[in-house]
């Protein structure tokens, strides 16, 4: 199963910390988490306006917690890195439901340089990611290049369709990555 994901974090530097992560599986199941232990001292005005102001779980989940919506197949989690990692482990394990639990998972990102490092860090390193997640990630930037499309193209302009949510919200961006992938391979 392919899972498309995006992260939001506190800056393009070595000591960045994870703010949120969004994943959408090819079967439509989603996982969205906001972390409570990111380093707020690293935030600049752009991050505050475009990332922090687009977080919404504090209004839904007081403190640390999680919710599953069977109608939308959406899992939302709010907590520290350890809590989010545990929620994500359970999501990967249950992905596919009772028919195909714990399926092999291919991870797809927009551009892997930061997202994959932060994904691995969430679990304590590359050797600790969920065992059903393939250890080699993939990205749509490479697909754009292979199709002779400028990898710097606006993703929203490329898919030419409305995706619910707000840009720079990790779940919204994961949905856009999925739509780009589907358009690139079909």
Determine the CATH number of domain 2-185. 3.30.420.10
Q: What pLDDT was estimated at residue 179?
A: 98
Q: Return mean pLDDT, the chain.
A: 93
Q: State the average pLDDT over residues 68-89.
A: 91
Does the pLDDT value for residue 71 go beyond 80? no
Q: Are 122 and 84 in contact (CB under 8 A)?
A: yes
Poorest-pLDDT segment among 11-15, 63-67, 116-120: 63-67
Domain ranges of the chain: 2-185
Q: Is the pLDDT of residue 98 over 70?
A: no
Residue 6: per-residue pLDDT = 98
What pLDDT is attached to residue 99? 64
Confidence at 114, pLDDT banded by 50, 70, 90? confident
What would the two tokens of residue 82 be?
């350890």
pLDDT of residue 72: 78
In three state form, how does the secondary structure of the chain look? CEEEEEEEECCCCCCCCEEEEEEEECCCCEEEEEECCCCHHHCCHHHHHHCHHHCCHHHHCCCCEEEEECCCCEEEEEECHHHHHHHHHHHHHHCCCCCCCCCCEEEEECCHHHHHHHHHHHCCCHHHCCCCECCCCEEHHHHHHHCCCCCCCCHHHHHCCCCCCCCCCHHHHHHHHHHHHHHHHC
d(CA 58, CA 53): 11
């Amino acid at each position: 199963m392919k899972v498309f994901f995006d992260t939001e974090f506190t800056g393009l530097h070595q000591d960045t910390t994870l703010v949120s992560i969004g994943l959408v599986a090819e079967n439509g199941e989603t996982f969205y988490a906001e972390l409570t232990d990111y380093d707020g001292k690293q935030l600049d005005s752009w991050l505050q306006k475009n990332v922090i102001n687009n977080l919404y779980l504090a209004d839904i989940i007081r403190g640390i917690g999680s919710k599953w919506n069977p109608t939308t197949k959406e899992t939302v989690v709010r907590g520290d890195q350890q809590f989010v990692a545990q929620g994500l482990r359970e999501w990967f394990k249950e992905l596919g439901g009772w028919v195909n639990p714990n399926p092999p998972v291919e991870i797809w990102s927009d551009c892997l340089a930061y997202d994959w490092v932060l994904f691995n860090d969430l679990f304590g390193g590359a050797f600790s990611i969920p065992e059903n997640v393939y250890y080699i990630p993939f990205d749509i930037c490479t697909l754009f290049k292979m199709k002779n499309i400028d990898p710097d193209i606006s993703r929203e302009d490329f898919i030419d369709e409305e995706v619910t949510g707000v840009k720079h919200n990790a779940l919204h961006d994961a949905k856009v990555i999925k739509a780009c992938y589907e358009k690139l391979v079909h």
